[in-house]
Structure 1
Amino acid sequence: MQIRLPQSDGSLKTHYLKAEPVRPHGPAKFNRTVYAAAHVVVDPVANLDPWDASPRVDWDTTLAFREHLYRLGFKVAEAMDTSQRGMGVDWPVARELIQRSIRHARSVGGDLACGAGTDQLPPGPEVTLGQVEAAYREQIGVVDAEGGRVILMASRALARVARGPQDYLELYSRLLREVSQPVVLHWLGEMFDPALRGYWGSTDIATALDTVAQLIADNARKIEGIKVSLLDAKWELALRRRLPAGVKMYTGDDFNYAELIAGDAQGYSHALLGIFDAIAPVASVALSALAAGNAFRYRELLDPTVELSREIFRAPTRHYKSGVVFLAWLNGHQDHFSMAGGAQSARGVAHYARVFQLADDCGVLADPELATLRMKRFLSVAAGINA
């Protein structure tokens, strides 16, 4: 099989497909705790004005995709930024997503944790710390009411109103004292969301790291782990080596996850990653190999996916969701390439062509014939290219 793909310089280049999908054989067995942050499938017909209206979700397809992840051995990180939380998906939709997903997971034997944040509270100069805390409590209450576990998401409103590290320490500590189950903390860098610049009270990452390390040390009993998404392995390693016993480091580094999960003589990271939505079958086989003691096979499979991930998560990183959903469409998990907020328009055709090529190179295209057919249709409609 072959296809002509547009390049960033405007030319067309023929890509001869490798067409060697990596498929699991037998049940997945991991020796890391691994969450895949899952995307949401919208109803493209019901979303008449996607830029201006709350999305209508295709619940059957959305939940079926989560079941796909469970079958491959993953836990699901629900209602996170991969689901376009606060970037196309508003709190009323996220609340229903949490409720439906927890009930669905219980019915199929899946395991998940759900994002609780403050996105019902628009950030602004008039917002108070008390309002931020109340917003967190409301969302934690929704997860608790369903018997779910909480991922305590970074808050745009808190980043706007906090006067320094002490505000973070005090507010988070009050929340943690009252949670019913240990939570996963969430440190999302400004490359994922510019509104989170200066989180933990400082734009200096080393200073912010000291603050979050203090928070964890003071509240370790109520913290399962922390997800760090800074796209720089050195900061994750620095914090990982300071964590109290029993508190897990969840890598959210979509640039360096293969090496961070593999670990070193001083330890390893677990994972909570958006890229695992897109590369789930390959990652499942790789992680099973790692658990079986075959580190070479693990790296042989997972290392090639890093180049794909770096393309999907390239700057502006916040647009990575479009590449994730594009691959879900190419791989037959949904019948269309439409997103909440019309976010499929956030990247251009040359990017999607590169994603297609790299996905083929590392075995991520589950059905190369279907993926090629859909890619050709996409290029015809989006760019007038007869591929």
Structure 2
Amino acid sequence: MPVTDHALLSASSAQRWLVCPPIARVEEPFEDKGSNFAAEGTAAHTLAELKLSERFGKMKKVTVKAQMKRFKETNEFYDAAMEDYVSDYCDLVEERVNAYKNAAIELEQKFDLDRWVPKGFGTSDVVICADNTIEIIDLKYGKGVPVDAYQNPQLMLYALGAVDKFDLIYEFENVRMTIIQPRLDNLSTFEISKDELLYWADNYVAPRAVEAFEGKGEWTITDDVVKFSKVRAQLRPRAEKNLALVDKYDLKEAPLLNNEEIAKILERASEIKKWIEHVETYALQKARDEGEEFPGWKVVSGRSNRKIQDEGGLLMMLEAEGYDDEDLLKPQQLQSITNLEKVVGKKAFHELANDFIVKPDGRPVLVPDTDKRPALNSVDDAVSDFEGS
């Protein structure tokens, strides 16, 4: 289901549409399915807002208490670790506020970016307004990689919206942007003048936002553009860029690549590996979960290893057959199936231990049609299931 126009150019996706404007409209029809990571982040933000509302008197204590109780009882992501990490974040926010004289703090401030970004909007976690300076603080609950505030476009757009909303009251000169990532102990701050921020907005953001809104502009494919893109596996400009490197070399010139040519391939090797992985993951998901067909390919059950499902029972049975514990255990744990086969003998072990061994289904994989394994959900699968019932 397509997202609506007002959500097209979000601050969170600015790293993509600012660098590669036409990608915004290409991504538009694809629904963002979300993830557990995103849901966990949302939970942490909710908890942080409640805690900061209590600390700074933004909400009546009885209201905070009731909402906090409900949150802790009903949110599946809440635990002691989240409580500690969010408290650390709130401590740092309070330190920042106290570092200013006569500072005012605003929480979850919605702002309009339509002056620079068509139908653009956003919400800032924390806005601190003080004489000469406005500071934007953004909670990042992820623990994958540290996020840097330096020239971070998402944060700069948040700051831009906050400046536009509060500047008439405070007349700021400096803009400070801070990312707090408590699970990585990451605190990152970037500061520029208000004039620099507005110049960036007028001369860089505004023209690219218009191009993005209209689906125009140059296709600039970078790691940051494709990293979180919903269409990264299907992007034709990305495929063309990677395949152009392969097509470039004409074997009529010479049968062997020279060192300069190999060096150029190495420059692109990392991106080409990522691209192939993204294409394979996309095709497998579509074929496995949605039944889409890719000519010449099928989904099969991947290879798996045998597992002993009842080690105690197998040990007792082998002891009863006269085998010594010193041959069966290493040091106090039952040996691997391969080693047990060497002790007992392959044929004898199969006859004795068959009821204690399972071979789980392997993870689905996408393979060429020439692979001998039957396709999952195929007729062969159906017959096998029927005969085994």
In the superposition, the TM-score normalised over structure 2's length comes to 0.23
Larger RCO, structure (CA 8 Å, separation 6 or more): 1
Larger Rg: 2
In the superposition, the TM-score normalised over structure 1's length comes to 0.23
